[in-house]
Amino acid sequence: MTMLNLTADQVLTTTRAVRKRLDFDRPVEASVIDECLEIALQAPSGSNSQGWHFVVVTDQDKKDKIAALYQQTFADYAAGPAQPTKLHTDDPAMAHTQQKVLSSAQYLADNMARAPVLLIPCCSGRIDTPGLPAGAISGMLGSIYPAVWSFMLAARERSLGTCLTTLHLNHEAEIAALLGIPDDISQIALIPVAYTKGTDFKLAPRKQLDNILHRNGW
The Cα 103–Cα 84 span in angstroms is 9
Mean predicted confidence (pLDDT) in 78-102: 78
Predicted structure pTM score: 0.94
Residue 100 pLDDT greater than 90, yes or no: no
- Rounded-to-10 torsion of CA 11, 14, 19, 25: -50
| 23 vs 27: CA distance, rounded Å | 9
Asked if 33 contacts 121 with a C-beta cutoff of 8 angstroms, the reply is no
pLDDT at 23: 98
Look at residue 71 in the predicted model and tell me its pLDDT. Answer: 97
Torsion of CA 165, 169, 174, 175, to 10 degrees: 30
Each residue's pLDDT tens digit, 104-154: 999 999 999 999 999 999 999 999 999 999 999 999 999 999 999 999 999
- Biggest distance spanned by C-alpha atoms of the chain: 53
Cα–Cα distances in angstroms (integers) from residue 157 to residues 62, 71, 146, 173, in the given order: 28, 29, 17, 33
The SS3 assignment for 206 reads coil
pLDDT number for residue 4: 97
pLDDT in tens, 53-82: 999 999 999 999 999 999 999 998 888 787
Query: What's the Cα-to-Cα distance from 61 to each of 35, 50, 179, rounded to whole Å?
Result: 25, 31, 11
Q: How do residues 12-38 score in pLDDT, each as one tens digit?
A: 999 999 999 999 999 999 999 999 999
* All domains of the chain in start order, with CATH: 8-203 (3.40.109.10)
Q: Alpha carbon 16 to chain centroid distance? A: 10
Q: How many CB atoms lie within 10 A of CB 128?
A: 10
Closest CA to 147 of 58, 57, 29, 51: 51
Question: Which one, of 65, 61, 45, lies nearest residue 53 by Cα?
Answer: 45
pLDDT at residue 101, rounded to an integer: 82
pLDDT digits (tens, 9 = 90+) for 175-216: 999 999 999 999 999 999 999 999 999 999 888 999 999 999
CB-count burial class (<10 Å; 0-12, 13-18, 19+) for 193: buried
- Count of beta carbons in the 10 Å neighbourhood of residue 11: 18
Distance CA 95, CA 183 (A): 41
